[in-house]
Every structure is written in structure tokens, then in C-alpha cells.
Amino acid sequence: MHHIYHTEGIILGSKNFGEADRYYSVFTRDLGMIHASAQGVRKMSSKLRFILQDFSYVKVDLVQGKNFWRVTSASKAGRLERLMKNPAKLAIFAEVARLLARLLPATERNDALFVELLDGLTLLERTETKENLPNIEAVIVLRALAVLGYIGENAALDNLLKLPFQDELLAQVSARRPLVLRHINQALRESHL
């Protein structure tokens, strides 16, 4: 009998395999980054078909197999659903997801990063100003890189790394955008990823 893990996760991407199966990259609250398969999910009759969508926030039940995880059931978590309906915001979410899929180590729990990402995506979802979108993307990436250890202590970035995801943070990011982008690009160059 396999143990079933119940957790929440953000689907960072997926790819098809087999006749109707799909392989998912999911950043979970309790297990970190995992790769899991869902059998028959592409069939028209699949109940998971509309739940397990790229860039969605889900409650998911998983079983660990010998070489991979398997999704046994899933449901919507009730957050970030409006984000999926806005193409500009979804494009930012997709870019952040691609970056995290490259940076995150497999099955290494990271509570701080999960909370930061969820808070940043929540701010992205509720912002009404198009001009704020690049600033939100920059601060989400900056904070993710800092939590993962790619950006060290820096007095110039201190407020940006500690303020809650609110309007005050966006104003500070806007004022220091060139500095933020310079640090992000430097961290990515040095990571060789």
C-alpha cells in the first residue's frame, strides 16, 4: 500500500506522453518541486482534464512510485483563477514558471519560496494597472532568486526583499527597476542556468 500525499501546488508546466497521459512539473507546498504523471488525463472523459492545467494552483493527491510521482486526484484550490483569464498576466506567470522549473531542485521543500511565489502571484492577479506588471514580474523573480541563494545580502535591495507584496513595494521597485534588473541578470548569468 502506497502512502498518499495531500498537498497544494502550482503547476509550472507539462508535456504529453503516451496516448492520453501527461507529465507535470509541480512546485508543491509540502514536497518542493516534483515531476508527476497523470494517466488518461487527456481523454475527453477525464475528470482531471480541466483541473490539471498549466499555471494553475491546485490541491493534489500524489503517490510516490519507484521512479516518479503519480497524481491520484486533484481539485482547484480556489486561488489564482482570474490570473488565467488575463493574457498579459498569464504571460508573466508563464515566464516565472519557466524560470522556476529550471532553478528548483527536485523534492526539496521550500516553504519560504512557496509563500513568496503565492503572494507575488496574488498581487499579480489583483493588480489593475498594466504598467505595474513588469514591476511585479521583476520583484517575484528577485525574491525567488534571493530565497534560492542566488542573490546575497545587499543593502540597496533590502526593502524590496522584505516588504510585503503591496502597492508600496511596487512603487519602490518602479523607482529602482534598473538596479533590480541588473541584480537579476547578474544572478542568472552566474548561475549558468
Mean pLDDT of the region 36-65: 93
* CATH at residue 21: 2.40.50.140
* 101 and 62 assigned to the same domain: no
pLDDT digits (tens, 9 = 90+) for 126-165: 998 899 999 999 999 999 999 999 988 888 888 899 989 9
State the pLDDT at residue 1: 60
* 90 and 185 assigned to the same domain: yes
**Domain boundary at 45, 76, 107, which?**
76
Percentage of the residues of the chain whose pLDDT score is greater than 90 = 71
* 91 and 185 assigned to the same domain: yes
**Domain boundary at 56, 76, 96, which?**
76
* 17 and 112 assigned to the same domain: no
* 54 and 87 assigned to the same domain: no
The residue among 148, 144, 152, 150 whose CA lies nearest residue 191 is: 150
Phi then psi for residue 36, to 5 deg, are: -135, 150
State the pLDDT at residue 115: 95
**Domain boundary at 34, 57, 76, which?**
76
pLDDT digits (tens, 9 = 90+) for 166-184: 888 988 999 999 999 999 9
Mean pLDDT, the chain, whole residue set: 92
Grid coordinates given for 82: 482570474
| Three-class secondary structure of residue 56 per DSSP | coil
Q: Please enumerate in sequence order all residues whose Cβ is within 8 A of that of 16, keeping only pairs 6 or more positions apart, or say none.
A: 22, 23, 42
pLDDT at residue 192 tops 80:
no
Q: What is the Cα–Cα distance from 126 to 188, expressed in whole angstroms? A: 28
* DSSP code for 104: P
* 88 and 180 assigned to the same domain: yes
32-38 and 69-76: which strand pairing? parallel
Structural domain boundaries enclosing 121: 82-191
* Whether the model pTM is above 0.85: yes
State the pLDDT at residue 65: 85
Longest dimension (CA), the chain: 56
Q: What is the Cα–Cα distance from 136 to 139, expressed in whole angstroms? A: 5
pLDDT digits (tens, 9 = 90+) for 89-111: 999 999 999 999 999 887 789 99
